[in-house]
Structure 1
Amino acid sequence: MSNISIIIEERPADIGNFLVGRLLPFREKRMVGPYIFIDHMGPAALSDHENMDVPPHPHIGLSTLTYLFEGSIRHRDSLGTDIEIHPGAVNWMTAGKGIVHSERTPEYLRHTDKHLHGLQIWVALPLEFEEMQPSFQHVEAKDIPHWEKDGVSFRLIAGEVFGRRSPVATYSPQFFIEIKSADRKVLNIGQELFGESGLYILEGSVISDGHEFTPKQLLVAKEAKLCEFTMTENTTIYIFGGEPFKEERFIYWNFVASSREKIEEAKQKWLDQSFERVPGETDFVPLPKQNYNPASTAKKDA
């Protein structure tokens, strides 16, 4: 019997500047471990008059993980952070009780042709950290644990697994791993994993139980410890997951919370513009003008 419980195809989503491929949340699978939102950005070719410009917007109840394959993004937030992220590095922003940030093409690239390609991910916070003070961490590519085994390359982007720990400051048991192979390889890494796990194919293909899966597919395992598969030549995958939460999580716009009341409070706070501001930024993303039914919060983004 196959160990794959669900196959999720990327679905187009408009984030205001260009289309992304949305993987999570999905109507049949809201979260994988603490991972509650994943967008595949690009690959996008931007001309000399096209730029990424996401004005200040708020978050609560989550950590964001930005990981680029190509290009550059300038991150600014209400803590005063102003930093550029490059491929292979990690931006890990923890919203806690509330943070505001913007994401833009750096000034020196705004009038040149450029490319942008990467992942943007939300990791829900456990109950005891939902109201923590916001924080930001940038980890350079050279500081991400990386190793090779039997001709396969591994990078532990976040979490703890394989007896290694990423320097990224996570708040619940989890893992986010990049695996690359130039040759056809059989991997059996299930005994190292725990909780729930998902496998995203960026390039190449994966064979499991006689079925071949291709890029832009997310495979969610029935049992993480039975994770065995074949990587074909020139394949790159990302395996992520961890211990799931006992409590439900609700999503509305950029807010993640364990209660609808917290969502409502955050909505009103953004309408009142009482979140801390991003220094040097004057515009902002308005709260979406759409019918909002608190009873259906958990069903959004299906």
Structure 2
Amino acid sequence: MSNIKMIVPERAAEIGNFLVGRLLPFREKRMIGPFVFIDHMGPVSMTKDQNFDVPPHPHVGLSTLTYLFEGRIMHRDSLGNEIEINPGAVNWMTAGNGVVHSERTPGSLRDKEKSLHGLQIWVGLPKELENIEPSFSHIEKQEIPQWTENKISYKLIAGECFGKKSPVPVYSKLFLLELKSSEKRKLNLSIDLFGESGIYILEGKINSDGNTYEPKQILVAKDHKLCEFEMDKDTTIYILGGEPFKEERHIHWNFVASDKNIIAKAREDWKNQNFPKVPGETEFVPLPN
């Protein structure tokens, strides 16, 4: 796009026993609006002997958003929540001053062939809310605003735009949209978006200003007011962004904060196992050096 400021490529990373494609943070672009972290999980097929297992690990200063395209994940956290995430639903967990959770293949699938595909996202909290009490929300697929316009299907996964509001309880001005095209279509989203914005191409192609862009990258816009492009037939994209924070956010392992002292304390607390425990779980991810 003539409005592209930067192209962020998907890079390989490991979480637990699982290989993902990391999109944010990127060395030249740490955040897009309040979004500080994005992993593309899969698509991967697993045998009867393979399972997705991320043992209990801590978070502070952020909200996690899990959105699956395919497969199922069992979420358990130190607040006592235990819920299976299915495609199209949203798991939204706000860490605040500290929460611990695990993510695993559900028991009903552990001895079966299965697949997994989705997005794991972290959203930073405003400075004045970084130390709030942790909380959890699960929003079912049918609760997410969905509509069709000009043969493009829209879902407002989180935030507000297009005069609509997602029930996901966000803490700052942001948007996370899914767009699917059945035919080639031109779009101009300049009046509906705000702050910073980026487009993640999951499948298909985007065309703009004589250039073609394909999957496994985020196109970061110079100016959301110039967000015009053409979606190819059978293309799926995710548009994310919002108002950036005034203060820098420091990211270390699973911790996000505007103050490095908060991260230092979280490190010591996890090292000494002073975080709350996930009921029924005895494993934990050790603090990295």
Q: Counterparts in 2 of 1:115-154, with a 5 A limit?
A: 115-154=115-154
The alignment's TM-score, normalised by the length of structure 2, stands at 0.99
The aligned amino acid for 2:184 is R
Give structure 1 stretches of 5+ with no counterpart. 291-302
Say if 2:245 is the partner of 1:248: no
Deviation at 1:16, TM superposition (A): 2.5
Partner of 2:61: 61
Deviation at 1:178, TM superposition (A): 0.2
Partner of 2:163: 163
Distance in 1, matches of 2:132 and 2:209, equals 43
Misfit runs of 4+, over 4 Å = none
Partner of 2:212: 212
Deviation at 1:210, TM superposition (A): 1.1
Deviations 1:54-93 (A, max 9, x none): 1000000000000000000000000000000000000000
The aligned amino acid for 2:215 is P
Distance in 1, matches of 2:171 and 2:208, equals 32
Q: How many aligned residue pairs are there?
A: 289
SS of structure 2 residue aligned to 1:191 = coil
SS of structure 2 residue aligned to 1:168 = coil
Partner of 2:258: 258
CA contact (8 A) 1:191 1:226 kept: no
Deviations 1:24-67 (A, max 9, x none): 00011000000000000000111000001110000000000000
Say if 2:279 is the partner of 1:279: yes
SS of structure 1 residue aligned to 2:267 = helix
Deviation at 1:191, TM superposition (A): 1.1
Partner of 1:9: 9
Q: Counterparts in 2 of 1:24-173, with a 5 A limit?
A: 24-173=24-173
Deviations 1:127-149 (A, max 9, x none): 11100000000000000000001
Partner of 1:182: 182
Distance in 2, matches of 1:228 and 1:249, equals 30
The aligned amino acid for 1:140 is E
Deviations 1:266-297 (A, max 9, x none): 00000111111001111100001x2xxxxxxx
Give structure 2 stretches of 5+ with no counterpart. none
Distance in 2, matches of 1:276 and 1:79, equals 8
CA contact (8 A) 2:35 2:123 kept: yes
CA contact (8 A) 2:16 2:55 kept: no
Distance in 1, matches of 2:217 and 2:283, equals 36
